Amino acid sequence: MNNNFKKLHSIIATVLMVTLSFLISGCSPESKTLSFIPEGIELECNIVIEAEGETLHYLEKKKWAEDDFSRIIEEKDRFSFSQIEEFKATYQVDAANFDVKTNEQEKVTILKCDVYIKLDGWYDFHWFLRPLGLDFLDDQFESSESELSWKGSLDGVETTIILRFPFTIDNCHAHVWSAI
């Protein structure tokens, strides 16, 4: 009987330890500081991507409501970390040189980074377009000599996208190349 009691005691102790470890890890202060999501959504979003060889300079400017922006300012470090992590998770590309700034007068946040790509005669923008549910042709991006642009609503947010190139361009659904 004593042997059965030891086995039962061991099982209960193991179950308690596993349960406590799950509870403690879910409540740790570290997990609370890793993400920051404002209560509302941004009012508008402007994205500019400028091509320079195998580097795409990415800039994302978001305008926020007063209440949301106030909260962003209060928790600027958490917000910055969250925006960078969101970019990485959304686009899953080789990116670096991240910088997140705020402009209190305009109530905007600005995320900048460099995206490194392999240039095979064209720029492949599947990484950018797919997560947004967009396509250069099907979503009627406007084309000028060296730019593609789009205005519309993404998830209820008025969004403008501009892609700039240092040469005359041509494009298909998700690729851009030199027209010369």
pLDDT digits (tens, 9 = 90+) for 128-153: 999 999 999 999 999 999 999 999 99
Confidence of residue 49 (pLDDT cuts 50, 70, 90): very high
Q: Is the same domain home to 6 and 54?
A: no
pLDDT at 20 over 70: no
Q: Is the same domain home to 78 and 16?
A: no
Mean pLDDT on 18-36: 41
Q: Is the same domain home to 69 and 146?
A: yes
Confidence of residue 35 (pLDDT cuts 50, 70, 90): low
pLDDT at 105 over 80: yes
Q: Is the same domain home to 66 and 137?
A: yes
Backbone angles phi and psi of 70, in degrees to 5: -60, -40
Reading the block at residue 171, the tokens are: 């494009």
Count how many domains the chain has: 2
Q: Is the same domain home to 17 and 94?
A: no
Q: Is the same domain home to 57 and 99?
A: yes
Of all helices (H) and strands (E), which one includes residue 109?
strand 108-116
Residue 71 is predicted with a pLDDT of 93
- Residue holding tokens 């042709």? 137
pLDDT at 29 over 50: no
Q: Is the same domain home to 109 and 149?
A: yes
Q: Is the same domain home to 11 and 68?
A: no
| Domain span holding position 165 | 44-178
pLDDT at 9 over 60: no
Mean pLDDT on 73-102: 97
Angle between helices 66-74 and 76-91 (to 10 degrees): 100
- Report the DSSP beta bridge partners of residue 44: 63, 158
Mean pLDDT on 120-125: 95
Q: Is the same domain home to 73 and 119?
A: yes
* Domain presence at residue 33: no
Q: Is the same domain home to 48 and 76?
A: yes
* Domain presence at residue 81: yes
* Domain presence at residue 148: yes
List all residues 6 or more positions away from 57 whose beta carbon is below 8 Å from its beta carbon. 49, 50, 51, 112, 114
Residue 12 is predicted with a pLDDT of 52
Residue 18 is predicted with a pLDDT of 41
